[in-house]
Structure 1
Amino acid sequence: MLALNRGLVSRLQLFAVDSPSPLRFLRGFSSDVETTTTTASRIIVPKPGVMTPESKRTGIIAVKCGMTALWDKWGARIPISVLWVDDNIVSQVKTPEKEGICALQIGCGQKKEKHLTKPEVGHFRAHDVPLKRKLREFPVTEDALIPVGTSLNVRHFVPGQYVDIAGITKGKGFQGGMKRHNFAGGPASHGASKSHRKLGSTGQRDAPGRVFKNRKMPGRMGGVQRTVKNVWIYKIDPARNLMWVKGQVPGATGNFVFITDAVYEKPDISILPFPTYFVPEDEDIDNMKPLVADLGDVDPFMITD
């Protein structure tokens, strides 16, 4: 780059005296000014750490396998959802130096290259990770960052803790007010003629003469993201990467769900693996027995499977 004359450079120096960084006005204008730029590269080491109350771990992606049931000691049926953690891996790390945030992108499943777009294939090739079927970004704290390529399994969570599970609910198409919003409907006998399931009045007369926004009316039902909070983990199976949770989770069988630590029923940080569970070299995962939550002296469940 051509150097400017000394008069202009001196004026710029006088103008930038009171600025926090006087040389930032001269970068690129003069070859006589020496500028040094140091880019600090973050080195992330995959090793266990110490979790603090302010720490936030990443979540994982699972596939909803279906429903089963347990019976308590009184004979009541308790629904249990089965989730499969299908080959989760860290596909991208976002740091404050580059992206301005702390987050981890997690990939789940497998997919062929012919079924992906060229930008998607380029993204996986740039980070040198296998092609994944589903991607999800989870915000984390700086002490919970994990390097690219780290594998996440079902032991990221522990039995007995509470988690939040998000997913896309089942789509039910166009539905009326009674099914969509649980309206009571009209009279079932006297005074009703072919209007038993009608919506009823939705507006006014000439003042204001319109229907207000967000009025509950018939329309498309389902097919939106919902989060079920405070779901209790009953059992995990490290050999098959399966997880049993108490209750229902959003979505149909085969859909992806996103599992994170519970926000309200916070788990005990002393029992959680941080930033995730790193499998020891001498551990035989294929022969590990399922881990069941501690239910106390009397087991209220009588498991059937």
Structure 2
Amino acid sequence: MFKAILGKKIGMSQIFTPEGKVIPVTVIEAGPCTVVQKKNVASDGYNALQMGYQKIKKVKNVTKPMLGHFKKNNLDPFKVLKEVKVENPDEYEIGQEVTVEAFAEGDVVDVQGKSIGKGFQGVMKRYNFGGGPASHGSNFHREPGSIGMCEMPAETPKGRKMPGRMGGKKVTVQGIKVVRVMPEKHLLLVAGAVPGHKNSTVFLRESTKKQKSN
């Protein structure tokens, strides 16, 4: 079974090891997900499975093309769809459930989510600029400073760090350890923080990087 699943971020907590060490953890309600579609090299150019998560209660809110996509395999419509690359999609069946039992304590995973949106922010909050003197008489407090040359080339270079929208982007945190698996409640406890606000959708998969042995 491939190690990948969609879930919902419940929040953060902490657990204690037998030695008394405190480990901050993020609680994720992972799955169950359903295999919606199989893709192969012959028809699509690559091998993958499409998973569905969170069934949609009001079918009237689903577009006709998406309804046809689900009805093709006699499945209920899902709110979230995600593709996972696998070596041999024929090993899996459409309608097969993917649960947290695919993971075990000690597994290292990558967690992908949408970071919390902060709105329009200045450079001090967005990029951690130092700012100017805070004392009386200064006309330079929270400004970014120079953003380009006045004569040559008389333009602002691309990529200059400036005020703008902060957060609300796809972020992947790599190399997070699975601390506890609770199949009866569909819960995964992973060490540390993961992107996104409470009740946001996250995607977990087996880590793509090799971990250093301790």
Query: 2:41, 2:13 → 1: CA distance?
Result: 43
Secondary structure of 1:214's aligned partner = coil
Query: 1:144, 1:126 → 2: CA distance?
Result: 18
Q: Tell whether the 8 Å contact from 1:178 to 1:185 is kept in structure 2 after alignment.
A: yes
Match of 2:115 among 169, 175, 194: 169
Q: Which runs of 5+ in 1 are unaligned?
A: 1-47, 49-56, 269-305
Identity percentage of aligned residues: 37
What residue is the counterpart of 2:15 in the other structure? Answer: 70
Query: 2:212, 2:107 → 1: CA distance?
Result: 6
What residue is the counterpart of 1:296 in the other structure? Answer: none
In the superposition, the TM-score normalised over structure 1's length comes to 0.65
Q: State yes or no: 1:250 paired with 2:173.
A: no
What residue is the counterpart of 1:287 in the other structure? Answer: none
Match of 1:200 among 122, 126, 145: 145
Query: 1:262, 1:144 → 2: CA distance?
Result: 23
Q: Which runs of 5+ in 2 are unaligned?
A: none
Secondary structure of 1:122's aligned partner = helix
What residue is the counterpart of 1:54 in the other structure? Answer: none
Deviates more, 1:154-163 or 1:259-268: 259-268
| Structure with more relative contact order (C-alpha pairs < 8 Å, separation 6 or more) | 2
What residue is the counterpart of 1:185 in the other structure? Answer: 131
What residue is the counterpart of 1:14 in the other structure? Answer: none
What residue is the counterpart of 2:178 in the other structure? Answer: 233
Q: Tell whether the 8 Å contact from 1:165 to 1:227 is kept in structure 2 after alignment.
A: yes
Question: Which amino acid is 1:80 matched to?
Answer: V
In the superposition, the TM-score normalised over structure 2's length comes to 0.91
Greater per-residue strand proportion: 2
Q: How many residues align?
A: 212
Q: Which is greater in Rg?
A: 1
What residue is the counterpart of 1:96 in the other structure? Answer: 41
Secondary structure of 1:67's aligned partner = strand
What residue is the counterpart of 1:33 in the other structure? Answer: none
The offset of 1:186, in angstroms, is 0.8
The offset of 1:147, in angstroms, is 1.7
The offset of 1:142, in angstroms, is 2.4
Q: Tell whether the 8 Å contact from 1:58 to 1:138 is kept in structure 2 after alignment.
A: no
What residue is the counterpart of 1:264 in the other structure? Answer: 209
Deviations 1:117-173 (A, max 9, x none): 111111100122222111011122227852211100001111111000001111110
